């Protein structure tokens, strides 16, 4: 009586091992890289846009201050999902329109039955890589506006005496900005930027809106009721189980991010008074 049970147990184990390592599941595991790439690139671009926006807001020229303030105010006021959908589509159609002005003849435009693009030659076929780059730029633009306010506040928090001392040593405006102002600014900015980073990580769950087969899309597909002709119903609605895996993944990313920012805050605080770090 024991031997059949053992045989059945091993058969079930072999089946489920084969099931979770089939092509669809391997594709799901590989799609985690899209989330990581989008978060890292989007975070890097958010810092770049944030530094640019904060520098503009701190400029002595009114026009530059207006540009920086307009960027941070307008982009922060637009819902993330709306901007996430608008920017890639607008960029794609903008490129197609620009190409159409060069390659589309009047005859080709007249022969085109679809409303867009203007002609077949101007059609820009985007793959996963292109959509991933556009998604990362969208994340950078949206959360760069939040980073602008964080960095702007951090730059204003640097003691004025530090900047005056740097100028007294004969440093130029550029040297004061990069060697003293921005160097000490990070101590104040990193706690706020850590929150911006976590918002970016959570926003990566929107990648499927741009036709990217990301972890959320695959979790929904794999968790749906699955029927195989050879074995019948493999499982019913298991989407909550796959979403639980994503829940654990994002919690792990959060924990690793907190450890990384703690290290960065210790690193940037070296050589600066402990009162500033606290």
CATH number of the domain within which 159 lies:
1.10.3720.10
Per-residue model confidence as pLDDT tens digits over 211-222: 788 888 888 888
* Of 123-127, 233-237, 263-267, highest mean pLDDT: 263-267
The reply to whether 157 falls in a domain is yes
Cα-based angle 134, 135, 138 (whole degrees, multiple of 5): 85
Give the pLDDT confidence score for residue 48 in this predicted structure. 94
The boundaries of the domain holding residue 83 are: 26-213
Per-residue model confidence as pLDDT tens digits over 6-50: 455 676 677 667 767 777 778 888 888 889 999 999 999 999 999
In the chain, the percentage of residues whose pLDDT exceeds 70 is 85
Give the pLDDT confidence score for residue 166 in this predicted structure. 84
Determine contact, residues 209/81, Cβ cutoff 8 Å.
yes
Kindly state the average pLDDT of the residues 125-145.
87
The reply to whether 30 falls in a domain is yes
The reply to whether 218 falls in a domain is no
Q: Tell whether the model's pLDDT for residue 234 goes beyond 70.
A: no
The reply to whether 240 falls in a domain is no
Contacts 24+ apart (CB under 8 A), 131-135: 131/88, 131/210, 131/211, 131/212, 132/34, 132/37, 132/38, 132/207, 132/212, 133/41, 134/87, 134/88, 134/91, 134/92, 134/210, 135/38, 135/42, 135/84, 135/88, 135/206, 135/207, 135/210, 135/212
List 233's β-bridge partners, or say none. Answer: 227
Q: What share of the chain is helix, strand, coil (3-state, %, to 5)?
A: 80, 5, 15
Query: Residue 3's pLDDT band (boundaries 50, 70, 90)?
Result: very low
The reply to whether 170 falls in a domain is yes
Determine contact, residues 38/132, Cβ cutoff 8 Å.
yes
More confident position, 253 or 162: 253
Residue of 242, 207, 243, 238 lying closest to 225 (CA atoms): 238
Determine contact, residues 194/155, Cβ cutoff 8 Å.
no
The reply to whether 241 falls in a domain is no
More confident position, 168 or 276: 168
Q: Tell whether the model's pLDDT for residue 270 goes beyond 50.
A: yes
The reply to whether 246 falls in a domain is no
Angle between helices 215-223 and 23-57 in degrees, nearest 10: 150
The reply to whether 93 falls in a domain is yes
Q: Tell whether the model's pLDDT for residue 195 goes beyond 60.
A: yes
Rg of the chain, C-alpha, whole Å: 26
Q: State the residue for tokens 């058969």.
A: 11
More confident position, 224 or 63: 63
More confident position, 252 or 234: 252
Q: Tell whether the model's pLDDT for residue 115 goes beyond 50.
A: yes
Q: What does the alpha-carbon distance between residue 166 and residue 227 come to, in Å, rounded to a whole number?
A: 71
Taking CA atoms, 177 is separated from 80, 145, 158, 159, 184, in Å, by: 32, 21, 11, 13, 10
DSSP per-residue letters across 7-33: HHHHHHHHHHHHHHTSHHHHHHHHHHH
Give the pLDDT confidence score for residue 149 in this predicted structure. 92
Give the pLDDT confidence score for residue 276 in this predicted structure. 47
Q: Residue 228: in which H helix or E strand, if any?
A: strand 226-228
The count of structural domains within the chain is 1
Q: What does the alpha-carbon distance between residue 83 and residue 140 come to, in Å, rounded to a whole number?
A: 11
Residue of 53, 14, 258, 31 lying closest to 142 (CA atoms): 53
Give the pLDDT confidence score for residue 231 in this predicted structure. 56
Q: What does the alpha-carbon distance between residue 276 and residue 21 come to, in Å, rounded to a whole number?
A: 51
Q: Tell whether the model's pLDDT for residue 275 goes beyond 60.
A: no
Query: Residue 52's pLDDT band (boundaries 50, 70, 90)?
Result: very high
Q: Of 28-37, 103-112, 157-166, 201-210, where does mean pLDDT reach its minimum?
A: 103-112
Kindly state the average pLDDT of the residues 152-176.
85
């Amino acid at each position: 009586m024991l031997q059949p049970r053992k045989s059945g147990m091993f058969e079930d184990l072999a089946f489920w091992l084969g099931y979770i390592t089939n092509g669809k599941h391997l594709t799901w595991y590989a799609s985690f890289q899209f989330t990581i790439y989008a978060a890292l690139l989007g975070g890097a671009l958010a810092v770049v846009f944030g530094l640019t926006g904060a520098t503009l807001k701190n400029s002595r020229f009114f026009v530059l201050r207006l540009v920086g303030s307009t960027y941070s105010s307008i982009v922060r006021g637009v819902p993330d999902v709306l901007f996430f959908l608008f920017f890639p589509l607008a960029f794609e159609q903008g490129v197609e329109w620009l190409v159409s002005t060069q390659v589309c003849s009047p005859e080709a435009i007249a022969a085109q039955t679809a409303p867009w693009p203007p002609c077949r030659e101007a059609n820009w076929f985007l793959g996963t890589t292109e959509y991933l780059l556009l998604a990362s730029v969208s994340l950078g633009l949206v959360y760069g506006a939040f980073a602008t306010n964080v960095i702007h506040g951090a730059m204003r928090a640097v003691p004025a005496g530090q900047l005056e001392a740097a100028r007294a040593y004969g440093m130029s405006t550029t040297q004061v900005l990069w060697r003293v102002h921005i160097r000490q600014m990070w101590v104040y900015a990193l706690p706020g930027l850590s929150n911006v980073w976590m918002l970016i990580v959570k926003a990566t769950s929107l990648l499927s809106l741009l036709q990217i087969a990301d972890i959320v899309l695959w979790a929904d597909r794999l968790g749906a009721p699955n029927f195989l002709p050879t074995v019948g119903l493999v499982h019913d609605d298991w989407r909550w189980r796959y979403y639980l895996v994503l829940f654990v993944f994002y919690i792990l990313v959060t924990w690793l991010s907190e450890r990384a920012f703690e290290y960065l805050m210790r690193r940037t605080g070296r050589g600066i008074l402990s009162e500033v770090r606290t």
